[in-house]
Structure 1
């Protein structure tokens, strides 16, 4: 039961199930979220290729089969829930810290390198329709690398990332989604329905 595995209440899971059904039927109505549907839900654009949205999709697609199933959707979102305890996140290996690190570790080497950091900053700015010059982006990336790369080897390892985030807590604060806690308040029409019980127990 997803309610026992995540910080979500049964009502919140019901709300997520309704949301999942809406997202998974926007392009292909097959009960699965495809990358284009995911991108459309996040950024109102299904065709614009973006590294950031690709990386977020990959983190949700736990089975790496090109689609997001309901269980993956809920479990992946749970790390962003305000009620998710740090102990639970550490036990599951899905802390905001580790999710953020994996987001930037584009080549999955266990390190964040200068080029990866720059590519992600550019991708995020692109999603925000921000137009900073390459010189400004390079300056931001260089400053971050100087501050985060404590041993000076030209890359950020998980321990250095942990120290960097501790000094810059807003990085993770921005990744918590308070509205998840208010899911049923935001969508009062979401109520317990027996016809979705089987889907929720998957």
Structure 2
């Protein structure tokens, strides 16, 4: 059975008019239409049901649907705005818009905060930052002692936790980013400024050198 997004097929649930999406993002109507072609390709790569599942998302990012990756999981969760376990077309476009060169720095900072706010409670705690550091080390296939990891986390909180209450809130995060702009450097993808039907493969390098946590 062919993909439900094949030619002449009905649009799947979650599809939104390109004109509306263009009005809400930095993309033009033509660029949104090009993104739909990419969405169709990704959503039919494994399950052929018109949504992007986590396995398909990992396949696009990592060229493997089996390899577990902490950052791929986190990005998928943030793209899945309505938390139904799949990425719909509207979610796909709105989430990619965060990485558009014309998107405001404030939106990028907010997205990055959500990435680190693993428990989704509105602040980043010390143990969450430690999980991120350990995941980064795992990506680099590096092993550091617990004491070294704890020192890295401690130094980050010295700088970021301005009121010393053991957590980083959104305002402290903004100040932390202002002091460490490299933390959101890779949240701008230049090629999103000129999306065409020949859109490149949706590959996001999740290695640490692209996250650039200077902590």
TM-score range, shorter chain: 0.7 to 0.9
Identify which of structures 1 and 2 has the higher relative contact order when contacts are C-alpha pairs closer than 8 Å and 6+ apart: 1
Give 1 or 2: higher helix fraction. Answer: 1
Q: Which moved more, 1:179-188 or 1:135-144?
A: 179-188
Q: Which runs of 5+ in 2 are unaligned?
A: 1-19, 201-215
Structure-2 residue corresponding to 1:110? 122
Structure-1 residue corresponding to 2:211? none
Structure-2 residue corresponding to 1:200? none
TM-score (norm 2): 0.76
Deviation of 1:84 (Å): 2.0
Name which of 196, 201, 208 aligns with 1:184. 196
Structure-1 residue corresponding to 2:78? 59
Structure-1 residue corresponding to 2:206? none
Matched, 1:15 2:34: yes
Q: Which runs of 5+ in 1 are unaligned?
A: 189-202
Q: How many residues get paired?
A: 180
CA distance in 1 between partners of 2:130 and 2:23 (Å): 39
List structure 1 runs of 4+ shifted beyond 6 angstroms: none
Structure-2 residue corresponding to 1:191? none
Change in Cα spacing, 1:64 to 1:52, as seen in structure 2 (3 Å) is same
Contact 2:79–2:91 under 8 Å retained in 1: yes
Structure-2 residue corresponding to 1:101? 113
Matched, 1:77 2:88: no
CA distance in 1 between partners of 2:66 and 2:178 (Å): 36
